Structure 1
């Protein structure tokens, strides 16, 4: 009986050969059937595409293996803590990034070639929330006596403080605001980033000790660069981009009710803006614009407004705040989001766009702003838009499609820029700071930079840059030459370190005791039959044996998204995290690309019994199977049935 088309869509299968194939497509296939190639299996570690796609460089495959219960933790460490330790090698904010990261790792996941990607950020949220519940903390390295100034207490600055404290360097964070967190705190609403969990993850870093914070302090105004160079051994610039870009339409600058998305969200997140306008138009298409329109729908508006009640008064002033009683009288606001790109090309996460639609936001995609309409008092009354087409990467309005969107508040969420007032000597002419490949500021010894002030991008990008910058600072303070960065620059699994953790490290080799050996497969002085290509290669899906994997639907996080009628005043977190059982099951969907996950296929299918399990007392992750080369005939079967692509044929002509 033929498989139904519906079942084929929901339960995919994989076939090495297709109907009509009658010849071998490659020399490898010919060798496979001839059973003699003089090549035997080598165990080759490569980087999976999830890690290669992660700007923070997390060892994603590693902590998924721990969650799935495959990689065992050291004695006296529970698996939840072990997963947390592995995850936070790169990123000290798993609870935050598990919620808000757009997850480029999931776009790269090889499981997309089957039914769906692994829910990496959902498992990361579970790891982060569990760590907070269990009170896991960080440990600082031995004190070096060196002090580093970190300018900016956002994701990049805090991640750098964490990495520097692990290396034993003391840090002083200079923060222009009243609290730490940067875009976590001032750029993302609390219903997406719960403040109690944000405070817990920041608190872990501060608890490492020797992390001094100087709030309401603006470097370049309150403190000079010369002061920093005098008092500190190195300086890291992580000031972010807090200045929003205005719309490229005539009359934008100086119009009171035209504001940036950054300023809008900051006023809300500081608790000053309690209500918004009756008709809000936001121009964007990215995550910031989705946050703006979602907040506007939740705040609503009040019908009778005097000058102090206007939202732009609060947004522009920075000190004025709405009376809390205003929110009680709020009515629904008409909120429209416009985007140059069609919905399928918007940079905002798809589920965030869907949530905004459910909450009552109107989305007009494929349109561009062309003019601002004002009244006699100079306030905007509407935004004229038109359908657009992209010509040479630039939007061009389609003639005859112009229409006016009435607006009491127009918000531009089309990008951010740096504010280098008082720091003009660092300005590269574009309101940003230049960086070399080691995240040093060129021609300024002892100065380093990370985060959006290099180029506005993702939070995960800022965290990854902070890690590399911290390594560069550490090398600078030790007067060591900067080591060459690998082609695939992420946190890699280290088999030698893993064997040391499992008390299986190779013995010390002594020439005096053993002579000048040019080769051996018996001595326990090295890790035999293993090649680490992880710093140079990312393993693609066509190196895996996909037929091993059955249909396994993704464990979806539940969401509590309010309707358009329920949205006013709804500030409860929308995402409900995975349970422990769901997280473990989701971890089991990981195909462990480029690393053995102990499936036994090679042992079972080897016709010569040449491939065998390593004895239990000598076994650990990456050292599960071995090969008896006196039995191996080079038939390729083990490599052919290896689901993860860990076995390659080598060691021969």
Structure 2
């Protein structure tokens, strides 16, 4: 019986188009059979989610654990095993699951079926479960006696301290602020990053021991670089970008109620700024600007205020704070976000822009600031803007489209720079530091760098750079040459390590007992039909058999996004995490690109029964199926029906 139109919710997927009736590659001529000379081999490649992750997390790996495919070692729960796998690259699963814009999801091959896998939602579940269960990091190995100065206690600095301890090196963190966390604490509002969850993940790192803290210490001012070079074996600069860039328009410079987005958010996150202005205009279009306008809508303004109550007074003076009692009189603020780019090209994620609109923010896209309008007292009373068009890559105002947006506070969220007072020798002329591919400071032996001070980017980028920088530091302090970094530089699945973990390690190779060395298909000392290309190749969707995957809607996290009427004073956490059932169901949507996930297609469809399941006592991830090459005729049906692209017809002549 034919399927009715009403039941057809998704078009079917086909590997071949109508009219394709001739094999265009001689090695793939299925009907040549026993003279094709090609048999299947199992090729591990990096999935695009992982290749798109600046931290290089083994995303496929921990999704496989959550869904129940990859089993934990004896005596460990899958929840703890998923935590340990995810934190191999990034020690902040709870934080990143909440705030990372998830480039991994943009790269996800599941987008070719219906929708990406909710990777950051599963990661949040892993992190929150780890905190609830009190999981700790493995104890650090034996102390190497090496001491590394880490300048900055933000995401990059903390991730570096974590990776240094995993290698047995001691770390001293120099932090100019009173608390650790950097942009996690001072740049992102608490309703997006709950401070108890942040503190739990920071303390888990500190609990590894031999991480000394020097708080309120600004290197270059309170501590000299010369002293650090004498006291430590290496120095890692992870100072971030703490100064915001002003608008390059007339009237900005020196105007008291024109402030940077970085300073605005810091004053709020330190708990000093309790209210904002009546009319707030923020220029941006990225994630920082979204946080600014969302905070401004939540704070509101008070009608009657003295000079000390003005938001810019608190923002400019780090020792001034609003009286908490004034929040009782707060009224809603009129908040506008302007962006050079049209909405679809804004760097802020689409759902963040949608949430801001829902909260009552006015978004003007495709406009540019032209001039700050000031009154006789020198205060900004408006921002002149105009429609924008790009000419030779530069924004240019469209003549005749100028208009003035009323403003009591103008916020610039158009970029950040480093604060390099006392560190002028390290300044590359742009308020940043230079780095080579090993994250060394050029011409500064023993100096390494990671994070926004190289180039402001994502939190996950800073964490990934810190990992590679620590690898380089380890080689430097051990006087070893830097190893060549792989083309796909991420945390890869290691089959040999997995087989050791599962107590299936190959036997020791013995020359005298090996006999005929021309093949290894029957040998227990070699992994004979497995090839690891993960360091060089990311597997694209067209190498997968997408027809295997049914249309399965994404399990959406719940979010508490207040309406424009509810937003004033609303500081509840925005993202509501998965239940265990939801996390498992969402992980099951992962297509396991580039790695077997035990679907049995190759076993079922092989016409010669050449492909078979490995004995259960010898089976583990990456070793689920094998091939009897005496039976294989090279028809490559197994490769055609492999959903993950793990099987390639490459063995033989």
Which residue of the partner structure matches residue 108 of structure 2?
109
Task: Kindly indicate whether the alpha-carbon contact (under 8 Å) linking 1:50 and 1:108 is maintained by their aligned counterparts in 2.
Answer: yes
Shift in CA distance, 568/472, structure 1 to aligned 2, threshold 3 Å: same
Change (3 A) 1:145 1:351: same
Q: 2:148 is paired with a residue of what secondary structure?
A: strand
The aligned counterpart of 1:514 is 514
Distance across 2 between alignment mates of 1:28 and 1:214: 66
> Counterparts of 1:217-228 in structure 2 under 5 Å?
217-228=217-228
1:15 positional shift: 1.2
Aligned 8 A contact 2:186 2:270 in 1: yes
Structure 1 residue 516, shift from structure 2 partner? 7.4
The answer on whether the counterparts of 2:27 and 2:38 sit within 8 Å (CA) in structure 1 is no
1:422 aligns with 2:433: no
Give 1:305 deviation, angstroms.
Answer: 1.0
SS of aligned partner of 2:62: helix
The equivalent of 1:44 in structure 2 is 43
Given that 1:12 and 1:115 are in contact with CA atoms closer than 8 Å, whether structure 2 keeps it comes out as: no
Instruction: Decide whether aligned partners of structure 1 residues 385 and 599 sit closer, same or farther in structure 2, where only a CA change above 3 A counts.
Output: same
1:392-541 equivalence runs, <5 A: 392-514=392-514, 517-541=517-541
Report if aligned partners of 2:94, 2:126 keep a CA contact under 8 Å in 1: yes
> What SS class does the counterpart of residue 115 from structure 1 fall into?
coil
* Contact map agreement 1:598 1:624 (CA 8 A) in 2: yes
Distance 2:456 2:118 in 1: 26
Aligned to 1:157: 157
- Using the TM superposition, give the Cα deviation of residue 111 of structure 1 relative to its aligned residue in structure 2, in angstroms: 0.4
Q: Which digits, 9 at most, give the CA deviation of each residue in 1:389-435, with x for residues without a partner?
A: 11222111111111100000000000101111100011111111111
| Deviation per residue, 1:209-258 (Å, 9 max, x gap) | 01111111100000000110111111000000011000110121110000
**How many residues are treated as equivalent by the alignment?**
651
Name the SS for the 2:573 alignment partner: coil
> Are residues 1:190 and 2:215 paired?
no
Contact preservation (8 Å) 1:12, 1:114: no
Distance 1:284 1:187 in 2: 15
Quick one: distance in 1 between partners of 2:359 and 2:251? Answer: 31
**Contact persistence 1:12–1:551 (CA under 8 A):** no
Distance in 2 separating the partners of 1:78 and 1:240 = 37
TM-score normalised by the chain length of structure 1: 0.98
Deviations 1:180-211 (A, max 9, x none): 00000000000000000000000000000011
Query: Deviation of residue 6 (structure 1)?
Result: 7.6
Find the counterpart in structure 2 of residue 77 from structure 1: 76
Q: Is the 8 A contact 1:176 1:218 kept in 2?
A: yes
- Would the aligned equivalents of 1:24 and 1:30 in 2 still touch at CA under 8 Å? no
Q: Which residue of 1 aligns with 2:300?
A: 300
8 Å CA contact 1:299, 1:569 repeated in 2: yes
The Cα of 1:29 is off from its aligned counterpart by: 8.4
In the other structure, the counterpart of 1:628 is 628
Q: Structure 1 residues 60, 6: CA separation in 2 closer, same or farther (over 3 Å shift)?
A: farther
**2: CA distance, partners of 1:333 / 1:131:** 39
Higher mean C-alpha displacement, 329-338 vs 387-396: 387-396
Partner of 1:567: 567
- RMSD value over aligned CA atoms? 1.3
State the 1:17 CA deviation. 3.0
The whole-number CA distance in structure 2 between the counterparts of 1:258 and 1:15 is: 57
State how far apart, in whole Å, the 2-side matches of 1:317 and 1:175 are.
20
Q: Deviations over 1:364-407 (max 9, x none)?
A: 01100011100011100000001111122211111111110000
User: What is the aligned partner in structure 1 of residue 359 from structure 2?
Assistant: 359
Counterpart position of 1:552: 552
Distance in 1 between the 2:111 and 2:11 partners?
11
Matched, 1:174 2:174: yes
CA distance in 2, matches of 1:441, 1:25: 53
Deviates more, 1:521-530 or 1:99-108: 521-530
In structure 1, stretches of 5+ residues that fail to align are none
1:142 Cα deviation after fit? 1.6
How high is the TM-score relative to the length of structure 2? 0.98
State the distance in 2 between where 1:3 and 1:647 align: 33
